[in-house]
Amino acid sequence: MEQFSELGITLNNWVATVEIQRAPLNFFDRKLICQIADAFELLDANPECRAIVLASEGKVFCAGANFGTGKEDGSGDGNFSEEGFNTVTVNLYSEALRLFKCKKPVIAAIQGAAVGGGFGLALVADFRVAAPEARFAANFAKLGIHPGFGLTVTLPQLIGTQKANLLFYTGRRIKGEQALEMGLVDQLSSLENVRADAQALAAEIAENAPLAVVSVRATMRAGLADRIAAATAHELKEQQWLRGTADADEGVRAVSERRPGNFTGK
């Protein structure tokens, strides 16, 4: 289907797999997030689907937002531009909110890096199955901006405020084994089995009474979408004013050049 031009969608034995197809880095923009949300909504309405696996092609789960061009075709290499930043961030979060309104369980299969907004996308899911090669980083402070994609809600809810603060303040990148120890990942699998194991977990959930699963999930996630809506409104406001600082310009250069930033607090 045309609206899913950058997704691969399969449905087998009650489990749907939604694959992001923007290798090698699987950068997202508003268009891609909209496609994922549309797919989730169609699967919510399909009684043949009882659980969803969110996966991606290539070596990287998702390297975050494409700030290179902001074009709707997803082109660009992800390097920062003001046009890309404004185009992506202004309209992105309303689409991202739709992901959190999905009614059916979502399991993320994470084979590689989930960075920045890609980290936020991984935390949309109820569970995460990851390979040791997976990498997680909320590297926003290194870029001189505020975290986004609802991470200020989802990350502390998952691993606790103190551990979330550690990742936010340092911007450090953690490996799959560390992520498992922190409770960020629910299951560690070999690289070649990570998707199959995520599908197996989805199948285990799908064996149960579907109305009961949806009911329990709604109870456990009650109010989450509302909290995400409030959080993303605040996150966007903070990102926008910080984007105008000299530190943000330096942070973008430093990250692209793979060096520590020389920040001045201006």
Q: Which residues contact 116 (CB under 8 A, 6 or more apart)?
A: 63, 64, 65, 137, 138, 139, 140, 143, 148, 149
Q: Which two tokens stand for residue 137?
A: 């980083």
Q: Which residues contact 218 (CB under 8 A, 6 or more apart)?
A: 103
As a whole number of Å, the CA-based R_g of the chain is 18
pLDDT of residue 92: 84
pLDDT of residue 70: 46
pLDDT of residue 93: 87
Position of tokens 């299969």?
Answer: 109
Where are the extended beta strands (E) located within the chain? Answer: 7-12, 15-20, 51-56, 106-110, 113-115, 127-130, 135-137, 173-175, 187-188
Positions of the chain with pLDDT under 70: 1-2, 67-90
pLDDT of residue 86: 60
Cα gap 61→179, rounded to integer Å? 15
pLDDT of residue 90: 64
How far are the Cα atoms of 46, 63, 190 from residue 23, in angstroms, in the given order? 28, 10, 20
Cα gap 123→127, rounded to integer Å? 8
Residue 241 half-sphere exposure, CB side, CA atoms within 13 Å? Answer: 6
The pLDDT tens digits for 143-196 are 999 999 999 999 999 999 999 999 999 999 999 999 999 999 999 999 999 999
Contact 7, 57 (CB under 8 A): no
Domains detected in the chain: 2-192+210-220 (3.90.226.10)
